[in-house]
Amino acid sequence: MKVLCIQAAPIQFTKEPKSQDALHGRSAMLRCEVSDPADIQYGWLNNGQPLDDTERRFREVSNLKFTAVDRRVDAGNFECVATNTVTGEEAHSTNASFNIKWLESGGVTLKEPTTEAEIESSAPVTLRCHIDGHPRPTCQWFRDGMRLTEKTHQINNKERTLTFKSASPDDNGLYYCCAKNAAGHVCSNANFTLNIIDKSFPRPVVTPMDQVVLKNEEAVFHCQFTAVPEPTVEWYYDAELLTNKSRVILYTNGTLLITQVKPRNTGSYRCVGRGPRGPDVTLEASLLIAEIEDMSPRQSRVFTADTMQRVSCMAPRGKPQPEVWWEREGVRVPTEGRVYQEGSELVFSPTEQGDSGSYTCVAQNKAGRKTQELTFTVATAPVWVTKPQDSYLEEGRPGYLHCHAQATPEPEVTWHRNSIMVMPEDPRFTVFPNGTLRINNVEVYDGQMYACVSRTEGGKLSGNARVYVLEKLKFTPTPQPSQCLELDKEVNIQCSATGRETPIIKWTKADGGELLPHVEMRNSQLHFTKVTRSDAGNYTCIASNSLQGEIRAMVGLTVAVYIRFKLEPENTTVYQGHTAILHCQATADPEPRFTHRDDNNTHTTTLSSFAPYKMIQTIGLSVGAAVAYIIVVLGLMFYCKKRRNAKRLQKGQEGEEPEMECLNRGAVQQNGHTTAEIQEEVALTSVGTTAAAEKRHSSANEKLQFPREDLHTITTLGKGEFGEVLLAKAKGIEEGEEETVVLVKSLQSRDEQLQLDFRREADMFSKLSHGNVVRLLGLCREAEPHYMILEYYDLGDLKQFLRISNSKDEKIKSQPITTKTRVSICAQVALGMEHMSNHRFVHKDLAARNCLISGQRSVKISAPSLSKDVYNSEYYHYRQAWIPLRWLPAESVFEDDFSTKSDVWAFGVLMWEVFSHGELPYTKLSDDEVLEGLQAGKMKLPVLDGCPSKVYKLMCRCWAPSLKERPSFSEVVNTLGDLSSDSNV
């Protein structure tokens, strides 16, 4: 057998460390590489000793890295060691070292003589500069900031010394040195002051002191110099040389006496000493008249018992500086003990009940004594006198919840309803000074949990009470007082009521007569099997229970034959200028009234009989009508052209187009009048088009019909202009969901304008389709009251969400809202409003209370508009209407001019709400003051802490007085989009 041995190649360095220059404190690297790095382990030696890795000096793969070269630690030779971990072979590189360049600051010292006391005039003096470095630095000397040269002074660069062969007072001054080399440039860190005394130079012996005297008191300044020979002394006031006068006396020893000091004598006095040699020596002193200012009064302070407290007393301005101390009942507070004085501070260590009372801060100087009274109260925790209790309150009457606690000082009482604070400006509630809460008019939805919090600086006390509302007996809703029945049809008349007990419903005829056989009661309904003319008359619905008695509602019924068309108009094509006839006949009882409508105008004709006209009569009437129509059209064309030119001029000035639809109020009004576009040409074929559109609209509404029995009320959220707003569960209204929580707006008003506004609002939400606008889910119109069913979000309205996020109650406080989340909320509302404005709708009531938010912070624009109760304080009664005054621009309030640009103004206020935690805008101003501010054009909400400047600038643009200067919602969306991506937000 033969064994083949293969010998590994020896280790060969391809890169070896090389000696190099390095700067102290700077980075450097020694490199090391081998030809075959496989199985090679690297190490480094310094002066033959292995190196360990540190943060400053470590191996970087095979190289040795220095983050900061140290002239002391990194001196010597470095070598790289490469070891084969398989064969154990080891190779050493050549040695390498650093030529470390450095420069280190030092001070200037006296080299000769050895001490300053030995310095004499005309004797040699040597100063040394202790700046050192490598390579040796070059040195420069300075006196009082002026550089010294080798021509005028003896400078030794090698020894870094400065020598005076014969020092004199002329050489006196501040000396320092600076040096530089390849490592940099530094100056001395400790300098030397040379002060050679010449006996012929005047030197001060007695220095004058500043004087503060009373008016008409004398002032004395002492000043004395020494020199050989004796120096002279002169006194100056400002630049004037003083001589002996009636009230100014100069003594030979240099003393100055001023008798009966007046205000004109105050100022700076200079004493000047002059000797045979050397410069004059000037000493200054000031003369002031004593004074002390009054001390301003201070508010009383409240402290918590058993705490460490410090109260400072600021000394008033005075000359001389007043001394300050504390007194209680005329006795000075000691400097030690539980209550003591430390400097100008009064210290309680700790506070006790007996510390309550009056304390006096005293400030005194030569001018007099001033005092400042301060009352301290040591607060105690509240104790119950009357604790809130569960209460049964009657609907429709005032209700009281009592909450009385005792404490020092008198506790502050706040009430919360369902964890939301009852605001003082809320007209539905009154909080009395003794803590009692009055619900001014109890409603069913007031049946909630209430919490009373009694608070002082010493602590707080809280108590809960649940309110149970005793419902009054009432109709829900009250039956319509007059209703029309169709002859020969089966009809039900609704009547429902609620009370503490389920009421019994009964129907009777108002005249006391019996109900006819074909009329019967089915549950609470009055059922007509087949309506006859004898069914007309007055009926009474009676609701009663054993606890509350009975209530009655009168319903007047009329019987009529509903309108049926015998002859319907047909689509007709005609030539311009020719006569056009549209036939229309219908039957009804009572006699119907006919109305022909085109796209923009309404024409009404009432027929007294249905007998056919003779052809000549028809032709005559047609020709006459055609001529009249042409005259009217020509007149309208002239009027419209004139009006449109005026509108164009107005639009050019204001930069705003009128909107097509308004939420809650119908057509947009300009200067208090409803605008309507009048076409120059009226096409008769549009009649058919309008009819088709109405059919499509009717068909869409039929699809939205939702059975009332599948709607189950959860609670009443409040009341709006249309009626109650409910939270309910709707069965099967959304695909894939068994039950859906929805918002239900009811129409309980008989006002025709409100009924029209209700239909327009439903129509608007049915036409809008956007992720940030609530959807119309259904309608209930088969009986009174009509219902509009809208989307709802789990966290409710945005206003309450913002308030809760800022609540001090940790139990209900949600997670903090970040600035990015606030910007996101604003951006979502802006996207929804952009969609709304693109479809030419105006909201008119955009605010945080009318937006909904989910747990995922998704926001949708809605319109609960709870103006009658929950948010009544945010609406203002103006010109027979309730308006959201604090969210509207001047043109909307005073000119009834609503547009997309008025919605932009409201959006700016909404952004302010988001960043203020739902605070009421202009909260410190009354409604009348806000109205005056709008009239003056000076309304702008203040900047908020934590609100980015870019967001506040956008708010201010939204509040521009001119419509043209306000941004569009598209601009707002772009601006907020940029802010959302800004990392600084």
Residue 490 annotated as part of some ligand binding site: no
Residue 792 annotated as part of some ligand binding site: yes
> By the 8 A CB rule, do 759 and 688 touch?
no
Q: Is the pLDDT of residue 501 over 50?
A: yes
pLDDT the model gives residue 901: 95
Q: Mind listing the pLDDT tens digit for each residue in 674-718? A: 333 323 223 222 333 334 444 445 555 667 899 988 898 888 888
CA atoms within a 13 Å half-sphere pointing along the CA-CB vector of 540: 13
Q: Is the pLDDT of residue 40 over 50?
A: yes
Residue 723 annotated as part of some ligand binding site: yes
Residue 724 annotated as part of some ligand binding site: yes
Residue 719 annotated as part of some ligand binding site: yes
CA angle 648, 652, 653 (to 5 degrees): 120
Catalytically active residues are 845
What average pLDDT does the segment 830-839 reach? 94
What average pLDDT does the segment 226-249 reach? 92
Q: Is the pLDDT of residue 277 over 90?
A: no
Residue 13 annotated as part of some ligand binding site: no
Residue 720 annotated as part of some ligand binding site: yes
pLDDT the model gives residue 805: 82
Helices 969-980 and 949-958 cross at an angle (nearest 10°) of 180
**Model pTM?**
0.38
Question: Which residues fall within 8 angstroms of residue 820, CB to CB, at 6 or more apart?
Answer: 980, 985
Give 575's pLDDT tier (boundaries 50, 70, 90): low
CA angle 652, 654, 658 (to 5 degrees): 90
Tell me the percentage of the chain whose pLDDT exceeds 90.
54
Residue 99 annotated as part of some ligand binding site: no
Q: Mind listing the pLDDT tens digit for each residue in 918-974? A: 999 999 999 999 999 998 888 889 999 889 999 999 999 999 999 999 999 999 999
Residue 664 annotated as part of some ligand binding site: no
| Backbone CA torsion sign across 420, 424, 430, 436 | positive
Q: Which of the two residues, 810 and 745, has the higher pLDDT score?
A: 745
Q: In terms of Cα–Cα distance, which of 792, 783, 794 is closest to 734?
A: 792
Task: Report the alpha-carbon distance of residue 313 to residue 325 in Å, rounded.
Answer: 8
Residue 718 annotated as part of some ligand binding site: yes
Task: Report the alpha-carbon distance of residue 237 to residue 247 in Å, rounded.
Answer: 14
Residue 849 annotated as part of some ligand binding site: yes
Residue 150 annotated as part of some ligand binding site: no
Give 650's pLDDT tier (boundaries 50, 70, 90): very low
Q: 125-129 and 33-34: which strand pairing? A: unpaired
Give 592's pLDDT tier (boundaries 50, 70, 90): confident
What average pLDDT does the segment 230-251 reach? 93
Domains of the chain: 13-102 (2.60.40.10), 105-194 (2.60.40.10), 203-289 (2.60.40.10), 292-379 (2.60.40.10), 384-470 (2.60.40.10), 479-543+552-561 (2.60.40.10), 568-674 (no CATH), 705-792 (3.30.200.20), 796-985 (1.10.510.10)
Judged by average pLDDT, the poorest of 57-61, 123-127, 747-751, 763-767 is 747-751
Q: Where does 657-727 have alpha helices with state H?
A: 686-704
Judged by average pLDDT, the poorest of 640-644, 756-760, 834-838, 932-936 is 640-644
